[in-house]
Amino acid sequence: MDSNRTAKLEFAVQMSCDRCVNAVKGVLEKEPGVQSVQVNLGKEEVLVETALTSSQVQTLIESTGRRAVLKGMGGSESDLGAAVAMVQGVGLVQGVVRFLQLSQERCLIDGTIDGLQPGAHGLHVHELGDLTQDCRSCGDHFNPFGKPHGAPQDADRHVGDLGNVTAGPDGRASFRLEDSQIKVWDVIGRSLVVDSGEDDLGRGNHLLSKITGNSGDRLACGIIARSAGLFQNPKQICACDGVTLWEERDRPIAGTGRRVTDTPAAHL
């Protein structure tokens, strides 16, 4: 499900001079996986066509000393839809996962989740966007065709089966996946759930293997909401808590510096 297909990422970047522009272009253009870079100094915008994750591109831009915020995503074709899920759960687990419909057949899933135990964690779209009982009320895996649970590459699988994401020693899972069964227009209003353990992809001997992948408890979840595409997000203030785009950028996704009640500004 990993792919080298490119997507276009729109960043707001704090820049004040031509030297800033040259620094940002220089670090991006020499990076394998970056196909093109366009910089608008007047609007403080950077458009990158790339096969890298949004987190990787943001890290590259900020290595020049300029702060950056992802404002929109788009594909090479016409705007087919974008969505975002802000996941939150047990302890300090929190993150942002974006969906971009690259074509009628392919959906890009780009995300960063912090606060996880190192190792693999099951990732699934669930049928309900209901968080009234936290992740317990999200329903079962999204499975409109009544298939058994499986791996992302399987023809017979739940549509919501996205396999595993892997957290490193720092507790962060940063990932870029492509999927042929997920459609943005089908998952808006549903939920995305991160599990506490590894999904066995339907290959295990446990009774739950063909039902859930035996991936443990539901660790974190969030409703999948419609999101801004390229050049569709002019906002400079985060609607969730009234802070500026740059103030929100300085808050971590999870941990010290962000209260449990704060919500990351995935679509300002």
User: Mind listing the domains of the chain with CATH numbers?
Assistant: 7-74 (3.30.70.100), 82-226 (2.60.40.200)
pTM of the model: 0.77
Quickly count: other Cβ atoms within 10 Å of residue 97's Cβ.
Answer: 25
**pLDDT single digits (tens) 94-148:** 999 999 998 888 999 999 999 999 999 999 999 999 999 999 999 999 999 999 9
**pLDDT single digits (tens) 1-45:** 445 688 899 999 999 999 999 999 999 999 999 999 999 999 999
SS (H, E, C) 27-42: HHHCCCCEEEEEEECC
Strand partners, 134: 132
